[in-house]
């Protein structure tokens, strides 16, 4: 794999001359956007545009290549406005469905209109279009559709300097961070925080730190009755992504790693891939301190946003993380097609009801320590695992 000009991983296009020659370059006017397709191909300019437009790890072509290496390359849709690229979506066709593989981005009305109209016109066999883990700036109109929120991504808009960030987080949070930080430094005079560009770290050191942070995360969640399983494959992905665009913060007491964080730059944004601390230092709120210091490092590096991803933890909002709902969205070719798809309509409705019920019960059980609360937590964790496998199968990834 080659390295792009922005430091991100760019996989070589797996296309043959025959596939390149068969690209569909028929552009059609769709609303105010001009649409263009590249079948079974992802052009270089689209790879760069994805990172520029979305700044999302899970939308990036780098992540797509790492998680989808054994499958045929996806189709690409590109939307233009006055000659400028304003939308890029990767998708596959399967059993009358267009499965959008680009995730964790904000879908705008104009892009949704142009893409849907272009797909339904170009591929007559397609009955529905499916998006996963997207957010909406405004409700979509003009199409028969269903959607429901199943998770959230906490996003911190980053100011231009740390001096601007500190007053914004509030007096109480500043007092908490300063108090625990001073106490930690007082009890451990040899405590230090160091930030490194991952590309400057030796491979052995990087693997050692990431594995230690994974152990801290697993032990911390186990202490709360939760389970955190990270596969070797996922760890390998982190190592590859971090090697080309990562920022590693390491907390040490002497020579011993006691916490840290790993943020990956995508476009102008940073994604917090991993943040953890030794559970033995929980009384110092070291986990929150590591996240705070890492956010400050992202500001100094010129980041525009810091994505803390999912997981409802109070420290995320304390650090100014704003929850952006992640939706599953289905767009139907027509109202008639929606009427003729009762099983899909019912399945989407039941999923929406299930997640609303979970969100209603979660705050209640979060403060309980009873056997019923532990049963609810384990059942929710099991359902998430099952849903993950279901989603992977649904998206052919």
CATH class of the 2-152+325-394 domain in this structure: alpha beta
**Which tokens in the block code for residue 171?**
């007096």
| Residue 371: pLDDT band with limits 50, 70, 90 | low
Whether residue 313 has pLDDT greater than 60: yes
Q: Is 6 exposed, middle or buried (0-12, 13-18, 19+ CB in 10 A)?
A: middle
What is the model's pLDDT at position 60?
87
| Residue 45: pLDDT band with limits 50, 70, 90 | very high
Which residue's entry shows tokens 């961070």? 177
Instruction: Please give the average per-residue pLDDT across 223-248, as a whole number.
Output: 69
**Which tokens in the block code for residue 393?**
């199968």
Which of 54, 23, 35 lies closest to 116 in space, CA to CA?
Answer: 35
Domains 2-152+325-394 and 155-323 share a fold: yes
Q: In this predicted model, what pLDDT tens digit does every residue of 103-130 receive, in sequence order?
A: 999 999 999 999 999 999 999 999 999 9
Specify the CATH number for 155-323; select among 1.25.40.10, 3.40.50.300, 3.40.50.720, 3.40.630.30. Answer: 3.40.630.30
Q: In this predicted model, what pLDDT tens digit does every residue of 325-349 receive, in sequence order?
A: 899 999 999 999 999 999 999 998 8
Q: In this predicted model, what pLDDT tens digit does every residue of 128-175 receive, in sequence order?
A: 999 999 999 888 898 999 999 888 889 999 999 999 999 999 889 999
> What is the model's pTM?
0.78
CB neighbour burial string for 22-40, b if at least 16 within 10 angstroms, e if fewer: ebeeeeeebbebbbbbbbb
Instruction: Please give the average per-residue pLDDT across 265-291, as a whole number.
Output: 90
What is the model's pLDDT at position 13?
35
Q: How many degrees, rounded to 5, is the angle at CA 215 between CA 210 and CA 216?
A: 95
**Residue-range domain boundaries for the chain:** 2-152+325-394, 155-323
Dmax (CA) of the chain: 70
Whether residue 363 has pLDDT greater than 90: no
Which residue's entry shows tokens 């066709």? 93
Whether residue 359 has pLDDT greater than 70: no
Which residues, listed in sequence order, are joined to residue 78 by a DSSP beta bridge? 36, 88
| Residue 365: pLDDT band with limits 50, 70, 90 | low
Share of the chain above pLDDT 90, in %: 47
Q: In this predicted model, what pLDDT tens digit does every residue of 188-201 receive, in sequence order?
A: 999 999 998 888 88
């Amino acid at each position: 794999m080659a390295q792009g000009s922005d430091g991100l991983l760019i996989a070589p296009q797996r296309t043959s001359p025959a596939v390149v020659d068969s690209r569909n370059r028929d552009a059609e006017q769709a609303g105010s956007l001009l649409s263009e397709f590249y079948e079974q191909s992802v052009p270089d300019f689209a790879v760069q545009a994805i990172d520029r437009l979305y700044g999302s790890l899970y939308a990036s072509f780098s992540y797509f290549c790492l998680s989808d290496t054994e499958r045929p390359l996806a189709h690409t849709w590109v939307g233009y406005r006055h000659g400028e690229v304003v939308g890029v979506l990767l998708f596959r066709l399967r059993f009358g469905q267009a499965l959008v593989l680009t995730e964790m981005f904000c879908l705008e009305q104009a892009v949704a209109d142009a893409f849907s109209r272009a797909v339904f016109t170009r591929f007559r066999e397609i009955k529905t279009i499916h998006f996963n883990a997207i957010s909406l700036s405004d409700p979509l109109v003009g199409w028969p559709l269903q959607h429901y929120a199943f998770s959230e991504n906490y996003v911190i808009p980053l100011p231009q300097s740390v001096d601007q960030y500190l007053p914004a987080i509030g007096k109480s949070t500043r007092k908490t961070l300063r108090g625990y930080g001073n106490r930690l430094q007082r009890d451990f005079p040899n405590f230090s925080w160091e930030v490194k560009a991952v590309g400057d770290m030796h491979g052995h050191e990087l693997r050692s730190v990431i594995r230690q942070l994974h152990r801290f995360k697993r032990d911390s969640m186990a202490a709360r009755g939760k389970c955190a399983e990270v596969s070797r494959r996922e760890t390998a992905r982190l190592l590859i992504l971090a090697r080309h665009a990562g920022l590693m913060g390491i907390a040490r007491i002497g020579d011993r790693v006691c916490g840290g964080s790993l943020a990956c730059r995508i476009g102008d944004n940073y994604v917090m891939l991993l943040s953890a601390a030794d559970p033995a230092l929980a009384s110092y709120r070291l986990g929150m301190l590591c996240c705070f210091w890492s956010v400050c490092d992202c500001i100094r590096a010129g980041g525009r946003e810091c994505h803390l991803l999912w997981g409802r933890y109070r420290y995320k909002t304390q650090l100014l993380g704003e929850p952006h709902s992640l939706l599953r969205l289905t767009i139907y070719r027509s109202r008639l097609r929606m009427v003729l798809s009762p099983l899909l309509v019912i399945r989407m409705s039941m999923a929406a009801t299930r997640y609303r019920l979970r969100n209603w019960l979660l705050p209640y059980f979060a403060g309980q320590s009873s056997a019923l609360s532990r049963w609810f937590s384990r059942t929710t964790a099991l359902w998430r695992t099952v849903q993950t496998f279901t989603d992977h199968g649904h998206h052919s990834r």
